Amino acid sequence: MAELITLARPYAKAAFEYARNAKELDGWHKALSLASLVALDKQVITMLQSPNLTTVDKGDKFVEICGEDISDKQANFIHLLAENDRLLLLPQITELYALYKAEQEKTVDVEVYTAYAISSSLEQKLADTLKEKLDRDVSLITKVDKDLIGGALIRAGDTVLDGSVRGRLAKLAEAMNA
């Protein structure tokens, strides 16, 4: 997986820099997300692995599948990926692009797992607190996890705050065994 991300990084960076300079971050994100879904389709994967098609043919067919939902510049990007046999990297390219976009826009998606549904006022208070701590606009997604006894587990990017009862018990057991 790390190797795929490494291969995808220069393409994601190039797409992001172009989109940022053209002030089309959302449009490119939408197009890359669509292309990523197309690249995950089993029939498309089979087509892309076919030795009977040239890279130009693969790029043309891929763009045709995406239809009018992509611009000419985005179609050129897809053709570039096809020429370099990198169309199957589109999910990783899209993932990295989304990270670059979030960094640029100073936003973060935060998932909050709780044992029970939380009130909208508590949700808003949590979002405000996280916004202040992370210095970013927060998009809060709350999910109920019946495996939690109580407390909450918060994931913001690669940061995890474990305030669940299970997490606290694990920390206590670790401290007692140390």
pLDDT digits (tens, 9 = 90+) for 110-169: 888 888 888 889 889 988 888 888 788 888 889 998 888 888 888 886 678 887 777 777
- In this structure, the answer to whether residues 74 and 155 fall within a common structural domain is no
CATH code of 68's domain: 1.10.520.20
Query: What are the two backbone dihedrals, phi and then psi, of residue 155, each rounded to the nearest 5 degrees?
Result: -120, 120
Q: How confident is the model at residue 2 (pLDDT cuts 50, 70, 90)?
A: low
End residue of a domain, out of 81, 102, 123 = 102
- In this structure, the answer to whether residues 32 and 118 fall within a common structural domain is no
Helices (H), 49-106: 55-66, 72-83, 90-105
- In this structure, the answer to whether residues 10 and 70 fall within a common structural domain is yes
- In this structure, the answer to whether residues 6 and 65 fall within a common structural domain is yes
Domain boundaries, position 136: 107-177
End residue of a domain, out of 102, 128, 143 = 102
- In the chain, how many domains are there? 2
| Res 133: pLDDT | 83
- In this structure, the answer to whether residues 95 and 112 fall within a common structural domain is no
Question: Is residue 60 classed exposed, middle or buried when 0-12, 13-18 and 19+ CB atoms within 10 A define those classes?
Answer: middle
